[in-house]
Amino acid sequence: MDRLPQTIEKLAFVSSETDEAERARIQLESRYGASDPKQADVIVALGGDGLMLQTLHRFMNTGKPIYGLNRGSVGFLMNEYGEDDLPERIARSVVSRIHPLVMEATDTFGHIHSALAINEVSLLRQTHQAAKLRISVDDRVRMEELACDGVLVATPAGSTAYNLSAHGPILPIDAQLLALTPISAFRPRRWRGALLPNYVNVRISVLEADKRPVSAAADYTEIRNVIEVRVREEKNSSSLALFDADHNWDERILSEMFRY
């Protein structure tokens, strides 16, 4: 289990460009000091889930824990904002190690593009016509043809993002699972997706690519006109996210599941 330093002395602050987040950064830096991220014990991210995602990417594989404080609109990956006793609060938080997905997308010219995704890898139709996709898991075809707006593979961290909007399942942060979720499936209409163990390799082939072009995205990296996308969890890369012990990820998931 990952653990924080026994004492939290040096904090580095990053913020989104909104006035609210900038004001919070200035206030917290004046109160707790501002360390260089390379020397900091913890990076404090002020903003919403988008800023948290960028910060997790930026400090991936550095061993720097990221503690998010919500100064944005959604903030599912963030902790509730508060200025008091911040080092003590961080010291009591729970560490979650997040492994990204690696996307290898082949385009119509045969070029292979690689990118990492902390939230999800998604494929989306580029025109008015539905995409037609073939889905294989560990080189075994599991669905010969899926007609849809798209499909995505989400990590537990990303299960509350696009995946949730597409009616995919919310996953515990430490679950050894990936969510494979269709986006507006037309045929088979009743297919709602699958839960996959996180050690599998997923291959999504684009059928009729000339007539029905498809783009692929790993978080905010997009590749146009793909013909095949391979997705797997990258075990050799990771980011560290911190959640308040009294309102941790599992508690948030339960709250979301019972929301009505």
Structural domain including 20 reads: 11-98+238-257
Residue 62 phi/psi, 5-degree rounding, is -95, -15
With respect to residue 27, please indicate whether it lies within any of the assigned structural domains: yes
Indicate which CATH number applies to the domain containing 163.
2.60.200.30
Residue 6 lies in a domain: no
| Residues 117, 148 within the same domain | yes
* C-alpha neighbours within 13 Å on the C-beta side of residue 221: 18
Q: In what order do the strands lie in the sheet with 150-154?
A: 194-197, 177-183, 150-154, 120-125, 214-218, 221-223
**pLDDT per residue over 207-216, tens digit each?**
999 999 999 9
Domain presence at residue 62: yes
Asked if residue 4 belongs to a domain, the reply is no
Within this chain, do residues 246 and 190 fall inside the same structural domain, yes or no? no
Task: State whether 92 and 124 are in the same domain.
Answer: no
Give the confidence band of 239 by pLDDT, cuts at 50, 70, 90.
Answer: very high
56, part of any domain: yes
Q: Is the pLDDT of residue 99 over 60?
A: yes
- 81: DSSP letter: P
Residue 184, pLDDT > 70, answer yes
Task: Read off the pLDDT of residues 108-130 as tens digits, 9 standing for 90 and up.
Answer: 999 999 999 999 999 999 999 99
CATH of the domain at 60: 3.40.50.10330
Judged by DSSP in three states, 173 sits in coil
Same structural domain, 114 and 203 = yes
Q: What is the pLDDT of residue 154?
A: 98
Domain co-membership, 129 together with 182: yes
| Pair 228, 253 in one domain | no
Number of domains in the chain: 2
Range with lowest mean pLDDT among 5-9, 22-26, 66-70: 5-9
- Do 113 and 212 lie in a common domain? yes
Q: 49 catalytic, yes or no?
A: yes
154, 212: one domain: yes
Of the candidates 88, 115, 84, the one whose C-alpha atom is nearest the C-alpha of residue 100 is 115
Average pLDDT over residues 62-75: 90
Handedness of CA 16, 19, 20, 23 (dihedral sign): positive
Of 248 and 70, the one with more pLDDT: 70
- Would you state the pLDDT for residue 6? 66
- With cut-offs at 50, 70 and 90, classify the pLDDT of residue 174: confident
Phi, psi of 10 (to 5 degrees): -115, 120
44 within a domain of the structure (yes/no):
yes
Residue 165 lies in a domain: yes
Residues 107 and 200 in one domain: yes
Please determine, for residue 142, whether its predicted confidence score (pLDDT) is greater than 70. Answer: yes
pTM: 0.89
The reply to whether 91 and 116 lie within a common domain is no
Co-location of 72 and 129 in the same domain: no
Q: Specify the pLDDT at position 260.
A: 61
Return the beta strands (E) in the chain as ranges: 11-15, 42-47, 65-70, 94-98, 101-107, 112-117, 120-125, 131-137, 140-148, 150-154, 177-183, 194-197, 202-207, 214-218, 221-223, 226-233, 239-243
Distances (CA, A) of 250 to 62, 143, 161, 174, 177: 25, 32, 16, 9, 15
111 and 91 together in one domain = no
Q: Which of 49, 138, 244, 250 is catalytic?
A: 49
